[in-house]
Structure 1
Amino acid sequence: MGEKLTESDVKKIQAEIDDRKFNKRPKLIAEVQETRAHGDLSENFEYHEAKRAKNRNDSRIRYLERMLQNATVISDKSEEGTVGMNNTVTLYIPEDDETEKYKITTSIRGNSLENKISIESPLGKAIYGKKVGDTVTVRVNDNYSYDVVIKDIDESTTDEDDQIKSY
């Protein structure tokens, strides 16, 4: 079983594949051919860099195509009042006496620096499908867990501005 992706994720990935195949790849191939004509390949930095850029692009295409082949498509719909995909959730963490907001995403769009957490993360797994007022225990590993209280669920957010991860 591969990544869990929404229909929107699949469309974004396919759009990147198409852009890389039909826009970037021809330009990169032309650049490799142009720099190859500059002479001795053993000392031609531009050629080696152009070839490296082309190979990175081709590698990204293969990675994304393999991800789509092995993906499980999930719904981005959720019951009203429950934590679901693309919801922004306000959590109270009693251990730290802090309140934080997180957006629930798929792992391909997760970005902890932007408070976008994946449904595959310990916190995402723990709160997914829960309701406002629920106290949930988040298991980080066998030795550590903590509680969070779901204070609010904003169901109005979308994934339009979310970017898929690069590597």
Structure 2
Amino acid sequence: MNRFPMTVEGEKALREELTQLKTVDRPRISQAIAEARELGDLKENAEYHAAREQQSFAEGRINDIEGKLSNAQVIDITTINKTGKVLFGTTVVLVNLDTDDEVEYKIVGDDEADIKDNKISVNSPIARALVGKEEGDVVVVNTPSGSVEYEIDEVKHI
């Protein structure tokens, strides 16, 4: 079975969503279905069909999250010795060698990736170019607008 890397924060977010779905959403949807049933004819009962659709979505998401958590390999980067090497879970400060602009990315699992929050998937082209490299190394990242050279300025275990 394949294990999927996940940060401590990613696992926590999934566990919180799972708790919300099981303890809040599931009972609320069941109640909505019960109330809609009391309205009579189910064929033309929009409330009933909407609640059943919500139930289907919620149950699917619960199964999805449980599957992800059961296959997760949670990696706490703060417990790993800092060597200056880019690993899953590290936060990497890069300097664009053409513009001297700095950018900082945290390398996370696919489900945690959020470019607005500077979290990139370990499977993204940038992360694949970085993983295994060390502070001071220069990496070339191929982007849609061409190749960009970055120097790895710092690797943080935060």
| TM-score between the two structures when normalised by the length of structure 1 | 0.74
Q: Secondary structure at the match of 1:24?
A: helix
For these two proteins, the number of residue pairs brought into alignment is: 154
* Letter matched to residue 133 of structure 1: G
Q: Which residue of 2 aligns with 1:162?
A: none
C-alpha distance 75-139 of structure 1, shift in aligned 2 (>3 A): farther
Identity %: 32
Corresponding residue for residue 150 of structure 1 = 152
- Is 1:38 equivalent to 2:39 in the alignment? yes
Show the 5 A alignment for 1:26-105: 26-76=27-77, 77-80=79-82, 81-94=84-97, 98-105=101-108
Structure 1 residue 117, shift from structure 2 partner:
0.7
SS of the residue 2:48 aligns to: helix
* Contact 2:7 2:89 survives alignment (8 Å): no
- Bigger drift between 8-17 and 127-136 goes to 8-17
- Which has the larger helix fraction? 2
Which of 112, 136, 156 does residue 133 from structure 1 map onto?
136
Distance 1:85 1:57, change over 3 A: same
CA contact (8 A) 1:78 1:84 kept: no
2:94 corresponds to 1:112: no
Letter matched to residue 111 of structure 2: I
Identify which range, 36-45 or 65-74, moves more after superposition: 65-74
C-alpha distance in 1, partners of 2:147/2:39? Answer: 60
Q: Structure 2: which 5+ residue stretches go unaligned?
A: none
- Aligned equivalents of 2:43, 2:93: Cα separation in 1: 57
Per-residue deviation, 1:73: 3.9
Q: Could you report, residue by residue, the CA deviation over 1:116-164 in whole angstroms, capped at 9, with x for unpaired residues? A: 11222121122124322111233679xx754321123343x4xxxxxxx
What is the CA–CA distance in structure 2 between the aligned matches of 1:68 and 1:106, rounded to whole Å?
Answer: 12
Alpha-carbon shift at residue 96 of structure 1 (Å): 6.0
Q: Does the C-alpha gap of structure 1 residues 109 and 56 become closer, same or farther in structure 2, counting only changes over 3 Å?
A: same
- Going by fraction, where is strand more abundant, 1 or 2? 2
Ranges in structure 1 where 5+ consecutive residues have no aligned partner: 158-167
**Which residue of the partner structure matches residue 25 of structure 1?**
26
The two structures, once aligned, show a CA RMSD in angstroms of 2.7
TM-score, normalised to structure 2, is: 0.77
Separation (CA, whole Å) in 2 of partners of 1:129 and 1:139: 17
